């Protein structure tokens, strides 16, 4: 089985009828890059930088972060590398920040909300990223964006730090794309407005599902409601992809759903550009897509979009689209 998959390691990510996609990897630490390269990833679709901040006593300084980002970019040798700025809060806490206890941490002070408030922390990360940008193909991504103002503010801070570095004579890449995660329903609904301002969108289904179904992704009691194939999720994903494409932008997915064999045919038909997942899923996904014809699946899309429940969607894909 592994040997069968091995043949896909150096192959392009392309469907049976010649439609190209990118299959990228998700990482949490610079050393995880090896696993993505070993599995033939086309890039990094999500570097969860919060792991650089965890399991320690204090914030990582600019130098430490610079080294981590430079290492990842160099190892990727010019392949697209999406680095997500600090997404702390929710289930991931930093004891040394001594934040107040919250009733609903997943709805609270986290990710971009914290970064826009504690700008010293955010600016340090942005500087480190900008300085590392000349070592590869960096794309910066902001997490948990709910409003257009948040995106604008985060981007403005990035550009401000860039300007400072330029004045200091420190080289910075001129081709850094600036994008955002679509993982809050408000952002998915107005994806057309975001797509005018962001260079790319990446759908974070792990959070998007929990917020859309109002079902805590960590709570076993309500896990039956955590439904990737719920028609609401499929419609939101479709909305986001179409909005991005109408504005000439590319769109990825970096939640678990991107590597889910039931979801993959649907995402291919919806013309998702980039699928980002854990290293071990990459070859399976490339093999699955290689056997699927996008034009053949597209014929089923209208039918899938008319189904009423997640179970119906799952049964339909299993019956008609798994090869």
207 binds Mg ion (CB under 5 A): yes
Among residues 19, 40, 43, 48, the one that binds ligand PEP under rule CB under 6 A: 48
**Of 58-66, 117-125, 165-173, 205-213, which part binds ligand PEP (CB under 6 A)?**
205-213
CB of 90 to Mg ion, least distance (A): 8
Comparing CB distances to ligand PEP, the nearer of 43 and 255 is 255
Residue 21 vs 209, nearer CB to ligand PEP: 209
Residue from the set 32, 42, 161, 183 that interacts with ligand PEP by CB under 6 A: 183
Catalytic residues: 254
| # binding residues, ligand PEP (CB under 6 A) | 10
- Of the candidate residues 204, 252, 259, 279, the single one contacting ligand PEP (CB under 6 A): 204
Q: Which of residues 244-303 bind Mg ion (CB under 5 A)?
A: none
Window contacting ligand PEP (CB under 6 A); options: 131-139, 156-164, 199-207, 311-319: 199-207
206 annotated as a binding-site residue = yes
* For ligand PEP, the closer CB: 136 or 255: 255
Cα dihedral sign, 107-108-112-113 = positive
62-70, 146-154, 203-211, 307-315 -> range binding ligand PEP (CB under 6 A): 203-211
Is 217 known as a binding-site position? yes
Report the partner that residue 173 touches, choosing among ligand PEP, Mg ion, none (CB closer than 5 to 8 A by kind). Answer: none
Backbone angles phi, psi at 196, to 5 degrees: -75, -20
Can you read off the two tokens belonging to residue 140?
């910066």
162 binds, among Mg ion, ligand PEP, none (CB under 5 to 8 A by kind): none
Q: State which residue has the least CB distance to Mg ion.
A: 207
Q: Which of residues 177-196 bind Mg ion (CB under 5 A)?
A: 183
What backbone torsions phi and psi does residue 316 show, to the nearest 5 degrees? Answer: -65, -45
State how far the Cα of 128 lies from the Cα of 126, in Å rounded to an integer: 5
Pick one of 32, 161, 207, 260: the residue that binds ligand PEP (CB under 6 A): 207
Stretch that binds ligand PEP, among 29-37, 63-71, 201-209, 306-314 (CB under 6 A): 201-209
Q: Which residues bind ligand PEP (CB under 6 A)?
A: 46, 48, 87, 183, 204-207, 254-255
Q: Which residues line the annotated binding site?
A: 48, 84, 183, 206-207, 217
């Amino acid at each position: 089985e592994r040997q069968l998959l091995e043949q896909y390691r150096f192959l392009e990510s392309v469907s049976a009828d010649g439609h190209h996609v990118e299959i990228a990897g998700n990482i949490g630490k610079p050393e995880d890059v090896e696993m993505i390269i070993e599995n033939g990833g086309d890039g990094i679709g999500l570097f969860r930088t919060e792991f650089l901040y965890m399991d320690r006593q204090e914030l990582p300084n600019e130098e430490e972060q610079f080294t981590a980002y430079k290492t990842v970019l160099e190892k990727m040798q010019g392949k697209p590398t999406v680095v997500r700025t600090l997404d702390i809060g929710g289930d991931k806490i930093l004891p040394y920040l001594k934040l107040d206890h919250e009733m609903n941490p997943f709805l609270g002070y986290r990710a971009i909300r914290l970064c826009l408030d504690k700008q010293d922390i955010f600016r340090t990360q942005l500087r480190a990223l900008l300085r590392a940008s000349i070592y590869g193909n960096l794309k910066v991504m902001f997490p948990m964006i709910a409003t257009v103002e948040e995106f604008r503010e985060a981007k403005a801070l990035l550009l401000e730090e860039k300007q400072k570095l330029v004045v200091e004579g420190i080289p910075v890449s001129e081709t850094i794309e600036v994008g955002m995660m679509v993982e809050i329903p408000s952002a998915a609904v107005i994806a057309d407005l975001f797509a005018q301002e962001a260079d790319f969108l990446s759908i974070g289904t792990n959070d998007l599902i929990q917020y859309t179904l109002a079902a805590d992704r960590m709570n076993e009691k309500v896990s039956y409601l955590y439904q990737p194939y719920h028609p609401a999720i499929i419609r939101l994903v479709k909305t986001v992809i179409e909005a991005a494409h109408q504005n000439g932008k590319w769109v990825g997915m970096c939640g678990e759903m991107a590597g889910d064999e039931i979801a993959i045919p649907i995402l291919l038909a919806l013309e998702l550009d980039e699928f980002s997942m854990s290293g071990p899923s990459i070859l399976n996904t490339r093999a699955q897509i290689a056997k699927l014809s996008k034009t053949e699946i597209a014929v089923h899309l209208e039918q899938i979009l008319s189904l009423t429940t997640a179970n119906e969607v799952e049964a339909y894909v299993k019956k008609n689209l798994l090869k």
